[in-house]
Amino acid sequence: MYSQAEENYLKTIYALEREYGNEVSTNLIANKIKTKASSVTDMLKKLALKKLVIYKKYQGVYLTEPGRLTALRVIRKHRLWECFLVQKLNFKWDEVHDIAEQLEHVKSELLISKLDAFLRFPKLDPHGDPIPDEQGRIIKRQTMSIVEMKIGASGTLVGVKDSSETFLKYLNKKNLGLGDKVKVIDIEPYDNSYHIETKTHRLVITSNVAENLLIKNVKR
């Protein structure tokens, strides 16, 4: 069994590998979890001894198969708990991430498989992210962010890249939620803001916001 800190590192490395597509540098990790590079190095050495990562000084780090599996198990727990909090305890989608950060470290595999069954084996968490199965298999979603869409294109909002409370609160305020049909009406050349339309209203969002919205079934 691994400590919370170790699990959090594995999860962070997994996310960074996915984002950057190759070995992850110590500085990248330090930035992401807001800690000193020297503490990161200490932890990476520890994880390497446990054969969870391959760590080469000055080159960076990547997950071994057991490391990847451990990261995916933590992610699985996190996302199942988020489903539970929203579906069964009526939390809002912007309230669950921090609580799930605590619950994701629960050790009992039996609890998690019962939770999975209780929720009827959900495929996606409340933010639209896929939930890995017990073997660590995870579906890839065919989505694109709004910034990749052309004027006139439309699709369904199925996920968010940024699931922070502030971003989700912002979406609530703008009356945007998962499942909404979204159409790009215009792109403002001056500041790259996006004029978009849903079934109920029109609004303008910054390119930063557009970047963080994931759309499926895009049609031109």
State the Cα–Cα distance between residues 203 and 196, nearest whole angstrom.
6
Burial of residue 199 (number of CB atoms within 10 Å: 0-12, 13-18, 19+): exposed
Tokens of 101: 């950060």
Q: How many CB atoms lie under 10 A from the CB of residue 118?
A: 13
Of 18 and 199, the one with the shorter C-beta distance to Zn ion is: 18
Number of residues in contact with Zn ion under rule CB under 5 A: 2
Site residues for Zn ion, window 173-212 (CB under 5 A)?
A: none
Listed ranges 89-97, 144-152, 180-188, 205-213: which one lies at the site for Zn ion (CB under 5 A): 89-97
The least CB distance from residue 59 to Zn ion, in Å, is 30
Q: Do 146 and 177 meet the contact criterion of CB atoms below 8 Å apart?
A: no
DSSP conformational letter for 129? P
Of 100 and 131, the one with the shorter C-beta distance to Zn ion is: 100
Listed ranges 93-101, 131-139, 141-149, 174-182: which one lies at the site for Zn ion (CB under 5 A): 93-101
Helix (H) or strand (E) holding 70: helix 65-87
For residue 63, give the nearest of 41, 44, 89, 82 by alpha carbon: 44
Tokens of 114: 């019962």
**Measured in whole angstroms, how far is the alpha carbon of residue 32 from the centre of its chain?**
14
State the Cα–Cα distance between residues 68 and 11, nearest whole angstrom.
8
Listed ranges 92-100, 148-156, 167-175, 207-215: which one lies at the site for Zn ion (CB under 5 A): 92-100
Counting contacts by CB under 5 A, is residue 73 touching Zn ion?
no
The least CB distance from residue 81 to Zn ion, in Å, is 9
Of 28 and 83, the one with the shorter C-beta distance to Zn ion is: 83
The least CB distance from residue 206 to Zn ion, in Å, is 23
Site residues for Zn ion, window 97-116 (CB under 5 A)?
A: 97, 100
Q: Which residues bind Zn ion (CB under 5 A)?
A: 97, 100
